[in-house]
Structure 1
């Protein structure tokens, strides 16, 4: 489920099945051209949307959250979700607040070959499987 008006019309009906919050987190760092920031941000959004499509029914894809690297604040997780998955670039230093636990997963995305469709598909596949492992691990306890 994506964060938009048309999908939220059925939120109350679907709420019992959506147990995972997917948070694409973008850290705006110095030393990267504006054009590259745009490419990276779009890539991160596309990976998040690809994961949501593969795992549709259990995931709510939140809007992209971004901040500047100089800001020293912890990322909080949304309440009322059994699982929280943060999607970010591997070079980013993002920390979760006190809500971090067994149901929280940080998924780094590689920063190279962002224009490769094959790499994109492999990335979405691998990260989707990591989320499934998180679900299986939690249900096996």
Structure 2
């Protein structure tokens, strides 16, 4: 389920099945060119949306949350989920606080963002990591 009006119209009836919040987190570094940020942000959102599609029914994908610079991200996790998946680029250290459920941090490599094959492999690997997380009850 994605964070849009069409899908959230059925939220109340689907709420009992959706136990995982997928939170794409992005670190905006001022020294990088804007064009690179646009490409990376878009890629991260596409990865999150593809994971949500693969795991549809259990996952609510939240909008991209971003931080500018190196200050710690003071992001609270949304209440009411058993699992929280924090999706970010490798090398970025963002965190979210105050959630009662289990947390899984997944990282995406930022090399070769144009490769369709790399994109599909990334989706496969990350989706499997989430499934493994669920199978182990959130313990890893």
Aligned-residue CA RMSD (Å): 1.6
CA distance in 1: counterparts of 2:85 and 2:72, whole angstroms: 20
The residue number in structure 2 matching 1:135 is 134
| TM-score (ref. length: structure 1) | 0.92
| TM-score (ref. length: structure 2) | 0.93
Tell me, which stretches of 5 or more residues in structure 2 are unaligned?
none
Corresponding position: 1:25 with 2:25: yes
CA distance in 1: counterparts of 2:39 and 2:62, whole angstroms: 19
Matched residue SS, 1:92 = coil
Contact preservation (8 Å) 1:75, 1:94: no
Matched residue SS, 1:78 = coil
Contact preservation (8 Å) 1:74, 1:94: no
Greater helix share, structure number? 1
The residue number in structure 1 matching 2:57 is 57
Number of residues paired by the alignment? Answer: 139
CA distance in 2: counterparts of 1:139 and 1:26, whole angstroms: 23
